[in-house]
Structure formats: structure tokens, C-alpha cells
Amino acid sequence: MSAIEETAVGSAFAFPSLAQTPMRFWDRDKHLSWLKANIAAHRICSDPKTLSHLRRHLDAWRKDPRNALTIRVWDDILAQGPETIMQRITALNDAGELARDTMPPGIVLDEAEITACIAERRRQEARGLVVYGSDG
């Protein structure tokens, strides 16, 4: 069972438990993007067909040269299978951030999920589990 699968409680979604060291994000938007990616990873885990939505959006973008980076990144990611995709989009490193920043639409979160992400972001901030800003 993957870390993402372990966070699923029935049909509800629980965010992954965090290490003692605070996570570092550039800003709250990057943090929120990571929280949303955790929900997307849960969806990929529970229904691998979810990836077909991402593929369709990516295919629709292929003719536009402005989407070259997204297409290159996501062609590579989608070729690796659901487990690797889940790990990549939730990774707290540069590769994970690039995956989240370039993720094509296709996994739509509803209002309750976005509200849960915002509440979790606030909870993590209040508990000192996250730091914002550059390393400098």
C-alpha cells in the first residue's frame, strides 16, 4: 500500500502525516498546489482512469508551441504509471513542483475539496509545519 493509499479513510481523504521538519514552499499558493496534488494523487490511486482526463487535455494542447514544456514533462510523467505519477506530483522537491506547475487540467476539485485544502493549509501554518519563502 502506498503512502497516498494509507491516507484514504473510507471515501474521505486525509492529508498525509508530516515529518518533524517543517515543509518549505515559496508561498501559500505553492503550498495549496501541493495539498491539491495530494487529492489528485488519491484520485489516481482510487481510479487510474483519472489519467485519461489528463491525457485528453494534454493531447488537445499539442498543437500550441507555448505548451511544449508541459507536454514534454507530462509525456514523461504519464509514461511511468499511476504509482510513480502519484509520488511525483506530491514530491516536496523541484521535480514535484515542476509537475504541479505544469499539470494539465483534468482532475477537477469540488468546492468541499478546495475548502478542505485551505483548512489544512491553515492548520499546517498554525502548527508550524510549513515555512514560506526562499532558502536565503
Dump pLDDT digits (tens) for 88-125: 999 999 999 999 999 998 888 999 999 999 999 999 99
Position 19 scores a pLDDT of 56
- Other CB atoms closer than 10 Å to residue 63's CB: what's the count? 7
Position 49 scores a pLDDT of 86
Q: Which of 32, 2, 9 is nearest to 124 (CA)?
A: 32
**Annotated domain spans of the chain:** 24-132
Position 35 scores a pLDDT of 97
Q: Are 83 and 46 in contact (CB under 8 A)?
A: no
Kindly give the parts of the chain with pLDDT less than 50.
1-11, 136
C-alpha dihedral, 109 to 5 to 21 to 84, nearest 10°: -80
- Other CB atoms closer than 10 Å to residue 34's CB: what's the count? 22
Phi/psi of residue 33, each to 5°? -60, -40
Position 3 scores a pLDDT of 44
